[in-house]
Amino acid sequence: MKKDQLLTRRRLLAAGAAAVGGAGAAAAFGLGAEDEAVRSAAPAAGPPARHPLKPSAYRLQPLTGYGPPRTAPRLPPVRRAPLLKVSGLGRTMVLTFDDGPDPRYTPAILDTLAEYDVRAMFFVCGEMVARSPDLLARMADEGHVVGNHTWSHPLLTRLRRSAIRAEMERTCDIVEKRWGERPEWFRAPYGAWNRAAFQLGSELGMEPLAWTVDTLDWTSPGARTIASRVEDGAAPGVVVLSHDAGGDRSQSVRALRDYLPDLLDDGYRITVPRRARL
């Protein structure tokens, strides 16, 4: 092959390679036939004509989740004793129910509260929530407050710190899963508090709440006696302790039907506490 023929062949091969390379680049960046036509129509001298890129799966998207750093939630103080009353304007009281939820009694209590448009607090045990998660969902839907009453209702003063934490944290987790939020309140079973319970409760973001009036409904004294104890102990800021599980709570159910309308008729406002108000 002569020298001038060899040069011509090399020029043709180079031109073909450039054409293939241009098509490959166009495909990689989402350029179609119209874009190629625009690029081909650009004058030979100077920069190529500018044109918008077509949408492509390979286009970079804006970064999300990189806003200002979140501040850690403020933990409640480590208390030396549980809270016994709540603050509030006027004749305000809080009704609390421990040990549930129990499908035999909790629904009837919720029905009575709904009838009078009243909110209450339910200190639940995690193992009971695991058996009746739908009741916890109902509590959330109807505006009640759910507190932590440990997983299996043990006597905390006989447990090691790690075991206390497991009881409390496991219940926090299932409440968050079934109720939608982590509990902000904690009550020790049997009212048996110790330093570890206060410290761990604070670490888990919970305030310790005890009670002012104990109905002693777990002793089955009769519905009328339970109602009388609530009405006799009624006063601004009072926290009433009752139970919706842990045994036969039919008397507690009947007593609520008696004393709740009486409290409302006497001008008491039955509400749930806010941590900021304590």
Instruction: Give yes or no for a contact between 168 and 133, defined as CB atoms under 8 angstroms apart.
Output: no
> What's the pLDDT score for residue 172?
98
Per DSSP, helices labelled H in the chain are 3-28, 33-41, 106-115, 126-131, 133-141, 161-179, 195-203, 223-233, 250-265
Choosing from 98, 99, 217, 244, the catalytic residue is: 98
pLDDT digits (tens, 9 = 90+) for 99-134: 999 999 999 999 999 999 999 999 999 999 999 999
Residue 21 placed within a domain: yes
Based on the fold, state whether residues 130 and 230 are members of the same structural domain: yes
Based on the fold, state whether residues 32 and 96 are members of the same structural domain: no
Verify whether residue 144 is a known catalytic residue: no
Choosing from 35, 243, 248, 258, the catalytic residue is: 243
> pTM above the 0.95 mark?
no
Based on the fold, state whether residues 37 and 106 are members of the same structural domain: no
Residue 198 placed within a domain: yes
Instruction: Give yes or no for a contact between 255 and 226, defined as CB atoms under 8 angstroms apart.
Output: yes
Q: What value does the CA radius of gyration of the chain take, rounded to a whole number of Å?
A: 34
pLDDT digits (tens, 9 = 90+) for 142-168: 999 999 999 999 999 999 999 999 999
Verify whether residue 102 is a known catalytic residue: no
Residue 166 placed within a domain: yes
What is the tally of structural domains in the chain? 2
Contacts of 144 (CB under 8 A, 6+ apart): 110, 113, 119, 120, 121, 122, 272
Question: Residue 10 is part of which domain span?
Answer: 3-41
* Spatial separation of the C-alpha atoms in residues 241 and 228, rounded to whole Å: 13
